[in-house]
Amino acid sequence: MIFDQAFSFQSLLDAHRKCRRSKQHKKDVINFEIMLGEKLVKLSADILAGDYETGRYKKFMIFDPKKREIEALFYTDRVVLMALSVGIIEPLCERKLIHDNVACRKNKGTLFGTRRIEKHLKTYYQQQGKDGYALKCDISKFFQSINHTVLIAKLQRMGFDERTISLMTKIIRAKESSPDTGLPIGNQTSQWFALIYLDDLDRFIKEKLRIKFYVRYMDDFILVHHDKEYLKHCKREIEKFAQDRLVLRLNKKTQIVQLKNGIDFIGFRHVLCDGGKVLRLLRGQAKVRMKKQIRKLAKAKATAKTRADKDFIAQSLNSLRAHIMHSNARHLFYLECKKRFANDPQYGMICNHDKHKDRQRNRIDNP
């Protein structure tokens, strides 16, 4: 019944509306909308009859913050993945995943993860003081290394019905370049599959290793403990568990650091200070990227011809501002914006320094 509802005409229409946000000017979206009703009826019938097959992937490269190959399905398939994620995967997984698994979930994300690690550090300070250590772990080539057999077995244990498992299996195994391992980064379902894949590791760390202060954002996770030797033991156990159960390995960035030296996590450096205060610092590389993005947007503004182009630049600038405002680099952001967007009324509200909002933000981030 849930499967039928998730892929009904109305559910697919809702999925289409979510997928088209900020992309309504794209050619494949326009082509899909020309015969929208007819296409949704056929798509719903094919999925419910078990005849749906995914299309081929298109590939492209991104270079920020590092070089990655993105593989994405065409628009029709993205509507199906959205309906599957929203209608079936999300409702079940939200009940089963641990609270400290913070990526790509409702009311969670990078800011939630940032506040969560800082809350752990403040609680740790109250119990143990300033001295302590953090084991920072990262999976080597995570999305490319996910084993399809292990993932499908995990999905079956989570309680998805047979039709859902059959559809998800088609989606997982549709990657032609690597039929047994790997998930394409560009898929909506890949984010959920990645969260699910490491769920057993989350429970191993929380329940077997008894780590109280733990946060995971996708394949990047932090363990905080007062005993450095115990964290070394945890590292060995995690490596063994990941290799034996998940066919994964930790990369060279995995290390144990002192809390007073700071923890790099989700784009910020979190430093535990005297009195239990946690400083949230923007890393040097992130500052360089921020300046580069502002220069790029200023250059695009100079050549923008339509209202849509200018709105896109404003949205991009607002998005960057929303991230930077939760760090110590907000003044650097304003200075750079003043230099690049001086006396431009359309971008003035974004670039102006609002001290009242800064004070409000500090109260939220540092209660």
Mean pLDDT of 297-304: 80
pLDDT of residue 15 exceeding 60, the answer is yes
Q: What percent of the chain has pLDDT over 90?
A: 53
pLDDT at 167: 95
pLDDT of residue 173 exceeding 50, the answer is yes
pLDDT single digits (tens) 98-128: 999 999 888 898 889 999 999 999 999 999 9
pLDDT single digits (tens) 306-360: 766 777 788 888 888 877 887 777 788 888 887 787 666 666 556 665 544 555 4
Distance between CA atoms of 341 and 316, rounded to whole angstroms? 14
Q: What is the pTM of this model?
A: 0.84
Mean pLDDT of 47-56: 90
Closest-CA residue to 19 (of 32, 4, 9, 6): 32
| Summary mean pLDDT of the chain | 87
pLDDT of residue 304 exceeding 50, the answer is yes
pLDDT at 78: 93
Q: What are the residues whose beta carbons fall under 8 Å from the beta carbon of 113, sequence distance 6 or more?
A: 102, 103, 215, 217, 265, 266
Mean pLDDT of 259-278: 90
Closest-CA residue to 167 (of 324, 47, 1, 34): 47
pLDDT of residue 64 exceeding 70, the answer is no
More confident: 328 or 254 = 254
pLDDT of residue 17 exceeding 50, the answer is yes
